[in-house]
């Protein structure tokens, strides 16, 4: 399922439904997170990365990112007025960085804050034009982290997201590592062979 611009009323209804559902579950605001399941493309409370064709081939640390809800569904800002849900725009993740929802804003806290912030960020980015260098998928993730006040911060930006993902992220599997690094390695070998 992918979601596109639903308008302000659609976003408000979606947020209200989420908040209502979370308030009914308020007895346990931080339930046990599900396991990460790369085979099913489920990454609870994670930031995920996938290579961008040609760009990642030249710069393997640069790619497309998304943020996952507590049930592991991926949400990513894939283009103007478009946030994909459960169908990552440029292919399934090759890396992930799992975060701790208990480090979200204490009100309401845990997965309730996490999921509400992800949905609010989606609603905001369904109204935005995508700018590859200024307001992009990394900015969408940073906005969600700011809305949930992850680690008490409200100054997350696209560089923080990229930096933390590079140094704290894990590859989904060997195939994920190959998908990320093989094109860049092949290109470097080809350039070396051609020029030296």
Q: Residue-wise pLDDT tens for the chain (196 aa)? A: 344 445 555 665 665 565 554 444 444 555 678 899 999 999 999 999 999 988 998 888 899 999 999 999 999 999 999 999 999 999 999 999 999 999 998 777 789 999 999 999 999 999 998 888 889 999 999 999 999 999 999 999 999 999 999 999 999 999 999 999 999 899 889 988 888 8
Displacement of CA 122 from its chain's centroid (Å): 11
Instruction: Yes or no: say if 89 and 64 are a contact pair by the CB < 8 Å rule.
Output: yes
Instruction: Give the Cα separation of 112 and 171 in Å (integer).
Output: 27
* Proportion of the chain in helix, strand, coil states, percent, rounded to 5: 45, 15, 35
Q: How many CB atoms lie within 10 A of CB 146?
A: 16
In which order are the strands placed within the sheet that holds 63-68? 3-4, 82-85, 74-79, 63-68, 46-51, 95-98, 170-171
Full-model pTM: 0.83
């Amino acid at each position: 399922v992918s979601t596109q611009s639903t308008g302000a009323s659609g976003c408000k209804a979606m947020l209200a439904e989420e908040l209502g559902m979370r308030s009914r579950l308020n007895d346990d605001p931080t339930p046990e997170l599900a396991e990460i399941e790369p085979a099913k493309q489920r990454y609870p409370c994670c930031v995920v990365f996938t290579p961008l064709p040609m760009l990642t081939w030249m710069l393997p640390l640069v790619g497309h990112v998304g943020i996952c809800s507590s049930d592991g569904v991926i949400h990513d800002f894939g283009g103007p007025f478009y946030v994909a849900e459960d169908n990552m725009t440029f292919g399934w993740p090759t890396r992930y960085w799992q975060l701790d929802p208990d480090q979200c804003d204490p009100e309401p806290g845990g997965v309730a804050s996490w999921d509400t912030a992800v949905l609010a960020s989606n609603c905001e980015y369904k109204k935005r034009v995508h700018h590859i260098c200024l307001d992009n998928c990394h900015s969408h993730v940073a906005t969600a982290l700011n809305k949930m006040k992850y680690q008490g911060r409200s100054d997350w930006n696209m560089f923080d997201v990229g930096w933390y993902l590079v140094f704290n992220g894990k590859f989904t599997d060997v195939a994920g590592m190959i998908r990320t690094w093989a094109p860049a390695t092949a290109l470097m070998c080809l350039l070396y062979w051609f020029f030296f």
